[in-house]
Structures are given as structure tokens and as C-alpha cells.
Amino acid sequence: MAIEVKVPSVGESIAEVFIGTWLKKEGDTVRRDEPVVEIETDKATLEIPAPASGTVVKLLKAEGDSAEIGEAVAHIEEGEVADTPAEPAEAAAPAAAEAAEAPAAGHVMPAAAKLAAERGVDAAALEGSGPGGRVLKEDVPATAAEPAAETEAAPVRAGARTEEVVRMSPLRRTIASRLVESQQTAAILTTFNEADMTAVMNLRKEFQPEFEKKHDVRLGFMSFFVKAAIDALQQTPALNAQVRDDSIVYRNYYDIGVAVSTPRGLIVPVIRNAELLSFAEVEKTIGDFGVRAQSNRITPDELQGGTFTISNGGVFGSLLSTPIINPPQSGVLGMHTIQERPVARNGEVVIRPMMYLALSYDHRIIDGREAVTFLKRIKDTIENPTRILLEV
């Protein structure tokens, strides 16, 4: 009996997806709930599991094709799938010994195994960057490295000019369109300040062991900035608002988007009701986002909404930037790298760990006074973190 593999609902506003990578080909056997194909939305990459065990008899879509929610993309002939026969004990022993000597590579994801085979790469020898050391597609190098002794570098003809045309992924296309939308629909202005990170760094150093022991998570900088942003948003409500037609919608809840880098581009998962979370809960949520983003396991629902965004370009070494608003939000806070700089304190020049802060805001509903007040409040809170309760 043929069973249809259908595109599941992946989000309230998503009606179409794109076929990413087929993890199974026609004639392959598959077990129930085993991934069959990767699909891409404008926000995330997801896997469609097999609805039943059997044999893949027909692929209805090619990689790169679009498909609607509920549309069938493959057929599976339902049937029993035999277990992989166990190795004889005498054969298994040497294999186990070899495995013990070889470095552990972790579980190889199906998409990574397929890509590695196409590129002639030994997937089992790769170091995985996914959860539990899982080998992801992004861990597979472009080509297999060859022994230097057996190869000779081919001379490159001077003046050779080549081009490579690569189709934008749905995520990259969405990023591009939203950035253009932000510039075209909002009156974006950016104001700057700087914060002395001495107090926060000392606080982290003092309480890090106790905090980590109690909550099983490290105390990072982001939780301080999330808490400081919520405090500042409560003082300047317009930055937590949005323009809707000819009205201003003020929100009395704080869903803070945190920009996270992935192999496919920048995404902004949302910490819901961040004002109700403790420092530890904020850190755990951000940490979970970071891990799942690397293996494309952030769900579309987690990318919806958001009332304000924080972007930390400092992790890449950015000293100063003008972040772009994530529409329809009205503001985004940009954090930057911490750099020791000479500053004046009590008439003396001292060296302090300083961070430049940038606030981009929608000037249609936020005046300069409000923007400066907001960023000054962030600065004051970071430089005097005892004003916010740290749970240890």
C-alpha cells in the first residue's frame, strides 16, 4: 500500500516550502519517523519524517522545487524493513578494537552522509559541530583533501576570471527582502553610547562558580543586556511598540529577539515573556537557541513576533555598527566587542574594558530624546548591575 509523504504545517503564516536535500532516494528502505527529506522555509530548515516503514518508490519533487503545505512529495510502499544483520563475534572484535583506537566522530546525520558520499569524504572521520558531536552538512568540506606527496599544484593562468552562480536559499532571500523592507518602511536613525563593563565582568567572576553550580549554565553577558533592555523598555514604551497602519500599538509584554548566527544566515529566535524569566532561564534559553540553530532545529514559531531585538556583533569582533531594525519592530540594540581603552575617571586616565552600544530606532514614533534616554538607561544599568536582581 502506497503511503504519501506530505508537507506538514510549519507555521501559521507559511503556505509554501522548498525542497532542500533528499535524504532518501527511490528504492531506499526507510523506517517510520526516519527523516526522508529536508525542507526549507523562509525562516528555517526542517526534516519530514517517514509516516510508515517501507520502501521509497517515488520522489514527486526535485531539490529546489516548491511545495504547498499538505502536498505529497514522495510515496512509500508500506512494508516490513529488515534489521541490519549483526556481525559475527569474531569479526566484531577487531572492528571494536579499531573503533576504540579511532577518534569518535559522533552520529552522522543523513544529509551529511549523503553530501559526504557525493564529495568523496569519509564522514566517519569528520568532527561534528552539532549536538552530541553530530556531523552536520556544514561539517563536510567542499572537497576531500589529498596527500600532498601525491599531488602537484596546478599552475593558475594569470588573469583567469571565473564566476559561480549560486541560487539564494529561501532563508537568505527572506533576510534580503526584510532588510530592504526595513530600510524602505521605517525612518531609521542610530544613536550611540558606550558602557564600562568592569562591574559586570567583576560580578560574573565573583558569582560564576556558584551560579553555574546552582543553575547548570554559565552566566554570560547576554542575560545582563536582556534584563537591562527590559528595564529600559519599561521606561521608554515607544521602543517596545510598533506602527500598525496609522496607529501605534504599545505592548505590555517583552518578547526579546536575540540574533543568532547559523551556517545559513542570521536568524532571530524570540525569548517569550522575557520579563518573567530569571537570569538562569534567560541564559538557558539563549544557549538552547544557539545549539539548535547550528543544526537547523529552530522552529518557525520561535522566529515569529518579537517586540525588540538585541544583536551581539561583538562575538565576531565588531567594534561599532549600525544595526537594522527587524520589522515591524521599532528598535534594535547592537552590542559590540569589549576593548580595553583609556578613559577619564575622577580626573585620571585609567584603562577600562569598554563596549560601544548602538540603538537603531524608528524615528516615526520615537524621538531622539527617548532614544538617548533608553540607551543611557542601558549604560547605567550595565555599569551598576546591582540595580537589577541577580539570582545566585
List the catalytic residues: 363, 367
Find where cell 520522489 sits: 59
Residues in contact with 333: Cβ distance below 8 Å, sequence separation at least 6, in sequence order: 225, 229, 308, 309, 310, 311, 323, 357, 358, 359, 375, 378
Let me know: does 307 contact 253? Beta carbons within 8 Å: yes
Quick check: helix, strand or coil at residue 203?
helix
- Give the sign of the dihedral formed by CA 202, CA 207, CA 208, CA 211: negative
Residues in the chain: 392
What would the 3-class secondary structure string for 14-79 be? CCEEEEEEECCCCCCEECCCCEEEEEECCCCEEEEECCCCEEEEEECCCCCCEEECCCEEEEEEEC
Let me know: does 357 contact 336? Beta carbons within 8 Å: yes
Record the cell numbers describing residue 42, joined without a space. Answer: 523562509
- Candidates 30, 35, 32; CA nearest to 20 is 35
User: What is the per-residue burial (b if ≥16 Cβ within 10 Å, else e) of 362-384?
Assistant: beebbeeebbeebbebbbbbbee
| Element of type H or E holding 11 | none
